[in-house]
A and B are shown apart, each in its own frame.
Chain A
């Protein structure tokens, strides 16, 4: 039978194809119980394949917790995560940039493997929900064929690299950061130095200090475009921020380097990654983000560590070579830039123009924002949007951290026509960037950690606000609302004027969904400061709370006073007093409505909360790397079954080298990929020293590797293929036990 693997074999870059094959082999090993569940979970997460709510096989149906009898029974894809349970696929879209063709493929995948919906995340990714893990390898292949990877979209790795949606067209930017974000994405993807983190690592670029777009101050590594005059020459570089992040304990990033020249950017990043891998917390994942390391060492000591590390970073052509390619990063608009020509404008155009259109720095062009409610749009809209993009802007599509779509390079003269076309497909909504355009994390809809329904609340607030948006004073229209389903702040509630995050309180014998109110966070200045938690209110009172807050702000604000300043001046105590009336909890008998969450008719419970996969378990670098050797050996077996002995040999040989490499990397992280170097290092560090020696077989298994490395036998036939695969198996076992002996590490 035909498969996507065969159909797309010439279109998938070999490197990407191999990674997917390895993952597919790991899936098979896991199903057979031959790969540890924690190691598989981390390998799966590094492919962007997430667990989802109820995947532990239990769900409260409003009356009682019921078992969900998935057909795969006890087979798990991670600790307490059942194989058949629907999951989420995160798809990395570097700096949110998409082509029309990519949008079409994403739409196809949403149709065929998900529920027809694409979801835009707060970090410019796309997520598909309710995906079966068995579908993920093909899903990845179809993406790979159009240049999209899900590699390291999740797990303890470098996540999607984000950048301002207006990069390259903005009036205020120092320079266009897109090509740098692109180069950094390519450089860090699968890089050896980013494989051993205790937690995720998020990188963002911003073109200027004043606006919000890049949000560099809330990132693990934030890069802010700068230029310097040195010896009469204008040099490009970045102010480097490190150790920012939201989560339960938000941290503002610290300045690591005031000005890092562009050719120093990649080595510096590499040094930061190495310091994080070496010194970052590995056991307690609640303190494993780099922000805790920076706080622990202090920025000066951290800087000193990075400077020392920089001296050990091996030479790499790409460090400077990428700057030669920056000029090649150009935009091709579909049309010539022309001013609006005075023709009659469609109904609703003016309002849409005010909120959704940004005049580019390039005369005659605009960027337009398509407001997607809750970040969701359908496959059908995806296809139609691809047509609209081709007609007006070409491949100039970006996703934004506010969960919207931005089309750049629209000729001004086309604005009325594109507006009409967008209205036809339900994407002509006028409220982009206004109070209606609320950001929400997945919350209790799909997230295992969700405490309250962030999306349910957001949908409710949207509906209510849309009804009265035209009556709202400007000061309120412009406010930002962001909602998270729990304290982890995936919805970025810390950096909104008005943020909410889910929690729960007891009233009598029942739990009641609540939202903590967080006020006065700053979106501007790259998320310049975080909001103030002022108290938790029942979820059902949030619309009234919002109304009370905004009305009082309008009534009392001084001339030009921002919401942020108003909150600061009013003070926590006064605000708390204002919220007090909403905090009175009715009994279940008096008002059962309070005991159900928004968009959910079940009586509220927190029994569905599971163990989150914000990152996998911390799995040792060795375990991750040896598991790749094991799955490659498994691929060799498959090739043997297919009668392809040549391939079986290649894979077995590769598996042995990968196993040797996994061990060498415990002593020398910089061994690289060259087979000769790996085998030499392995020989001198482990064979000559007898460290690899088995108690009985001594160095026999290691010699299997040396023998194959010296060359192929004359005849590669079935017997030979069998033999080398068996030898590979023995060698991998040997490496496993040696590693435990040498490093005293318990695998996993």
Chain B
């Protein structure tokens, strides 16, 4: 069975460029800490919007980071689980998807007409170069299992592709869902 990486991330992109600026996200995240709006032990918010294609605004929690992420020129909600990952890949993925989804939905609720996520695809990152080098072989090794797990999570057929070619980059997969939006419970 495939080993769970040290850290695992799931990113949902926005459907379109919002009117809301990264600056507007910072107070939202700070309010989430006050109100416990998303699960996790929320600690602090850090502002990296000055960095081109960087992590944007990050809500730091003990076990995960939630970023209003600007990487790859795609604004999105990036959930990175840093610790306490279940030790089978399926549960780990389910956990990350449900937390990412919860956060994305909470963000949508802040500006319902403006912030719209595309749940028809996701980027899944394996933040662990020891176990997951970004190579075609790594992809082949996990492809079947990932496809199965993700089809189950989405209740639809999924297509997977490596997100980056550069072998130094993180091993990450773009997952596109065949039948419209996905239907996992957060």
List residues of chain A with CB under 8 Å of any chain B CB: 2, 4, 7, 53-54, 59, 61-63, 68-71, 84, 86, 104, 107-108, 111-112, 115-117, 129-130, 132, 373-374, 376-378, 380-381, 383, 425-426, 445-446, 455-456, 459, 462, 599-602
Closest Cβ neighbor of B30 among chain A residues: A601
B170-A117 in contact (CB<8A): no
CA distance A556 to B173 in the complex (A): 60
Q: Are B34 and A62 in contact (CB under 8 A)?
A: yes
Residues of B contacting A600 in the complex (Cβ-Cβ under 8 angstroms): 26, 30
Which residues does chain B contribute within 8 Å of A104, judged by CB atoms? 168
Asked whether A63 lies within 8 Å of B34 as measured between CB atoms, the reply is yes
B24-54 near A? 1/0 per residue, CB < 8 Å:
0011001101100000010110111111111
Decide yes or no whether B129 CB sits under 8 A from chain A.
yes
Contacts of A53 in B (CB 8 A): 44
Is the CB of B104 closer than 8 A to any CB of chain A?
A: no
How far does the Cβ of A7 sit from chain B's closest Cβ, in whole Å? 7
Residue of A nearest to B26 (CB): A601
Beta-carbon contact of B34 and A378 below 8 Å:
no
B6 to chain A: closest residue by CB: A112
- Is B55 on the interface with A (CB-CB < 8 A)? yes
Contacts of A107 in B (CB 8 A): 168
Asked whether, in the complex, the Cβ of A4 is within 8 Å of the Cβ of B41, the reply is no
Interface assignment of B128: CB less than 8 Å from any CB of chain A: yes
A376 with B168, Cβ < 8 A, contacts A115-B60, A132-B82 known: no
Q: List chain B residues, Cβ under 8 A from A378.
A: 51-55, 71
Residues of A within 8 A of B65 (CB): 115, 130
Q: Contact check, A380 vs B71: say whether CB atoms are below 8 A apart.
A: yes
Q: Is B83 an interface residue (CB 8 A)?
A: yes
Give the distance to chain A from B178, nearest Cβ to Cβ, in Å: 30
- Distance between A722 CB and nearest chain B CB, rounded to angstroms: 34
Contact, CB under 8 Å: B41 / A68: yes
Quick check: B54 and A116 within 8 Å, CB to CB?
Answer: yes
Q: Label chain B's interface by main secondary structure.
A: loop
Known: A7-B130, A61-B34, A115-B65. A383 touches B54 (CB 8 A): no
Query: In the bound complex, do residue A54 and residue B51 qualify as a contact, i.e. CB atoms below 8 Å apart?
Result: no
Give 21 A-B contacts (CB < 8 Å), ordered by A residue: A2-B130, A59-B43, A62-B34, A69-B41, A71-B62, A84-B62, A112-B6, A112-B7, A115-B60, A115-B65, A115-B67, A116-B54, A116-B71, A117-B51, A132-B82, A378-B52, A378-B71, A383-B166, A446-B46, A455-B47, A601-B26
Is B169 positioned at the interface, with any CB of A under 8 Å from its CB? yes
Interface contact A54-B7, CB-CB below 8 Å? no
Say yes or no: A374 contacts B169, CB within 8 Å: no
A-chain residues with CB within 8 Å of residue B150 when the two chains form the complex = none
List 16 additional A-B contacts (Cβ < 8 Å) besides A112-B7, A129-B46, A446-B46: A59-B44, A68-B41, A70-B62, A71-B41, A71-B84, A84-B62, A108-B168, A115-B67, A116-B54, A373-B51, A376-B48, A376-B54, A380-B53, A426-B53, A599-B26, A601-B27
Residue of B nearest to A386 (CB): B168
In the assembly, what is the distance between CA of A690 and CA of B10, in Å? 66
CA distance A378 to B70 in the complex (A): 11
Bound Cα distance A7, B133 (Å): 14
- A376 to chain B: closest residue by CB: B51
B177 interface hit (Cβ, 8 Å): no
The answer to whether residues A54 and B44 also contact, given A4-B130, A373-B51 and a CB cut-off of 8 A, is yes
Does residue B93 face the partner (Cβ distance < 8 Å to A)?
Answer: no
| CB closest residue in chain A, given B34 | A61
Closest to B78 in A: A116
> Once the chains bind, are B30 and A61 in contact (CB under 8 Å)?
yes
Cα separation A53 to B45 with both chains bound (whole Å)? 12
Q: Is the CB of A112 within 8 A of B54?
A: no
Q: With A and B bound together, what is the CA distance between A59 and B60 in angstroms?
A: 13
Cα distance A373–B7 in the bound complex, in angstroms: 28
B50–A462 touching, CB < 8 Å: yes
Closest chain B residue, CB of each to CB of A382: B168
Residues on B with C-beta less than 8 A from A425 are 52
Residues on the A chain within 8 Å of B128, using CB = 112
Collect the chain A residues with CB atoms within 8 Å of residue B169's CB.
380, 383
Q: Does B100 contact A (CB under 8 A)?
A: no
Q: Is the CB of A111 within 8 A of B127?
A: yes
Q: B160 at the A/B interface (Cβ < 8 Å)?
A: no
Q: Which B residues between 148 and 172 are near A, CB-CB below 8 angstroms?
A: 166, 168-170
Q: Which of B59-88 contact A (CB under 8 A)?
A: 60, 62, 65, 67, 71, 82-84
- Set of chain A residues within 8 Å of B103, measured between Cβ atoms: none
Q: Which residue of A lies closest to B7 (CB)?
A: A112
Distance of A2 Cα from B128 Cα, bound (Å): 13
- Residues of B within 8 Å of A54, CB to CB, are 43-44
Once bound together, how far apart are the Cα atoms of A373 and B48, in whole Å? 10
Residues of B within 8 A of A602 (CB): 30
> A373–B50 Cα gap in the complex (Å)?
6
Q: B58 at the A/B interface (Cβ < 8 Å)?
A: yes
CB-CB under 8 A from A69, the residues of chain B are: 41
Closest-CB distance, B52 to chain A (whole angstroms): 3
Q: Which residues of A contact B60 (CB under 8 A)?
A: 86, 115, 130
Query: What is the distance, in angstroms, from B169's C-beta to the closest C-beta of chain A?
Result: 7
Which residues of B have CB within 8 Å of A374?
Answer: 50
Query: Which residue from chain A places its CB closest to the CB of B46 in the assembled complex?
Result: A445
A132 in contact with B83 (CB, 8 Å): yes
A725: shortest Cβ distance to chain B, in Å? 31
Please tell me if the beta carbons of A112 and B129 are within 8 angstroms of each other in the complex.
Answer: yes
B63: nearest residue on chain A (CB-CB)?
A: A71
Q: Which residue of B lies closest to A378 (CB)?
A: B54
B33 / chain A contacts, CB cutoff of 8 Å: 61
For the complex, give the distance between the alpha carbons of A248 and B35 in Å.
38
Chain B residues with CB below 8 A from A462, complex form: 50
C-alpha gap A59/B41 in the complex (Å): 12
- Report the Cα distance A521→B51, complex, angstroms: 29
Closest Cβ of chain A to B32, distance in Å, is 10
